[in-house]
Structure formats: structure tokens, C-alpha cells
């Protein structure tokens, strides 16, 4: 009893990651605490309100819109802290715009969107967050409709997922939606891998808060995995 009290008092978690959990945690730090472009404070950045999205396009683009809807559905199923992405029909009431256009057209609409980015790209996610509380406030997503349909579909999934706070790319897992060298790969990136799903789950756990640093998220994620194993043990015992 005294030991348990002291552990709670000093916020100590008696749990060690297994091999798979350690891999997920290391990947989570790589993707959630860093950024592909610009400065990132090495803290959790996430939405704490519903993300309202307007799709700006000049053609029906039914396939692209279908992929957007499917990606939103996947994310909404994985988030457990009340976060949701909602498509709306009014650009003036949204906090995030998805541009399904050419680079030239988007540059006409928003001249600052591509500022400072000199490399070639097929899509881009840009989020604005409060530097005091690390809540995401609004976002912009670009999908280059001059690219092949396959590239557009993969890019839609990646950029929407990055816009919720998973802003970095990596060369660790070649089948992940966050894989950095997609352009040089022949793989199809039309769905999340299991580790991609786990990252979204972890970011949108109720216990993970904007502004959490590496030490804080390690404790919280250990508690999460510990509770899963404890619950499994209880179920097995009941059976």
C-alpha cells in the first residue's frame, strides 16, 4: 500500500515496454514530436476541438473526395478523446481547407502557402497552433491534381493524417503512410499499416495532452499499454 502510494505521488510507472511497444513508442516520438518542415518544439501538438474541413476544388473529383471521406472515417474511428474530423460545405466556417488543385492555382489563391519550400512535392499540410497551449487552431492541405491518381490518393491519406499533429516523415518503415521516400518506392500507400493506426490512437488518447514532452508521453503510454494487458489478464481469468 505504501509503495503504491509513493509511486502515485511521484508519478512513477512500474512498467517496461515489450519489443513491439518499444518500436511503436520510438516511431511515435519520431513522427509526433518532430516536423518535416519548419520548427517543432518537441512537444505534442494536437486538436482539442473538432476539425472542420472544407474541400476547395473546381471539378467533382469524386475519387479524391471519396479517399478524403474514407481517411476521415478511419481517423474518427481511432480517436478516443472526443476528437473528430467533420466535412462542412461553408469555407467561412471551417478551420481547415483542403485544396484539390494545381500548384499554380493554389499559388494564385494563397501566395504564402508554399513560401520557403524549394523542393518538389505532390502535397503539403500546414497547421497553425497556439505556442502557449500547443492546441492546433487551423490548417491548410494541398493535393496536386496534376499528379497521377495513385499519387493523389496516397498523398491525401498522408497529408490529412499529418494535419492532425503527426507532422514528420521517416525512413524507418517503408510501408508506412509516413514513409519519406514514397516517390522512389513501388509500394501502394492506400491504407494505414498497424503501426500507423497505433500512432493515431496514441496521439488521440484522452491522457495525451497538447504540450506533453517526451518524458510525459512515455509515462502515459506505458500506463496505456499496462492497462491493456491488465484488462486482458482479467478477461482471461474470467473465462
Q: Structural domains in the chain?
A: 37-228 (3.40.390.10)
Given this model, what pLDDT does residue 185 score?
Answer: 58
User: pLDDT tens, 62-107?
Assistant: 999 999 999 999 999 999 999 999 999 999 999 999 999 999 999 8
Pick the closest to residue 43 from 223, 217, 219, 225 (CA basis).
Answer: 217
pTM: 0.89
Q: What is the CA radius of gyration of the chain?
A: 19
Higher pLDDT, 206 or 14: 206
What does the block give as the cell for 128?
A: 497553425
pLDDT at 10: 45
More confident residue, 175 or 186: 175
pLDDT at 189 over 80: no
Mean pLDDT of the chain: 88
Amino acid at each position: 500500500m505504501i509503495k503504491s502510494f509513493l509511486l502515485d505521488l511521484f508519478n512513477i510507472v512500474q512498467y517496461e515496454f515489450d519489443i513491439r511497444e518499444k518500436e511503436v513508442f520510438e516511431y511515435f516520438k519520431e513522427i509526433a514530436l518532430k516536423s518535416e518542415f519548419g520548427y517543432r518544439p518537441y512537444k505534442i501538438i494536437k486538436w482539442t476541438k473538432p476539425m472542420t474541413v472544407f474541400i476547395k476544388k473546381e471539378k467533382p473529383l469524386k475519387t479524391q473526395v471519396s479517399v478524403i471521406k474514407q481517411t476521415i472515417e478511419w481517423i474518427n474511428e481511432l480517436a478516443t478523446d472526443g476528437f473528430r474530423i467533420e466535412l462542412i460545405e461553408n469555407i467561412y466556417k471551417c478551420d481547415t481547407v483542403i485544396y484539390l488543385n494545381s500548384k499554380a492555382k493554389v499559388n494564385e489563391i494563397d501566395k504564402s502557402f508554399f513560401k520557403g519550400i524549394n523542393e518538389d512535392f505532390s502535397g503539403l499540410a500546414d497547421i497553425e497552433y497556439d505556442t502557449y497551449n500547443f492546441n492546433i487552431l487551423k490548417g491548410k492541405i494541398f493535393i496536386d491534381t496534376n499528379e497521377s491518381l495513385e499519387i493523389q490518393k496516397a498523398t491525401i491519406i498522408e497529408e490529412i493524417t499529418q494535419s492532425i499533429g503527426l507532422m514528420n516523415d521517416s525512413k524507418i518503415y517503408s510501408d508506412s503512410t509516413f514513409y519519406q521516400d514514397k516517390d522512389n518506392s513501388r509500394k501502394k500507400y492506400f491504407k494505414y499499416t498497424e503501426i500507423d493506426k497505433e500512432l493515431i490512437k496514441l496521439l488521440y488518447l484522452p491522457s495525451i495532452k497538447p504540450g506533453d514532452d517526451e518524458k510525459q508521453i512515455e509515462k502515459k503510454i506505458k500506463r496505456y499499454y499496462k492497462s491493456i494487458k491488465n484488462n486482458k489478464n482479467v478477461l482471461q481469468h474470467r473465462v
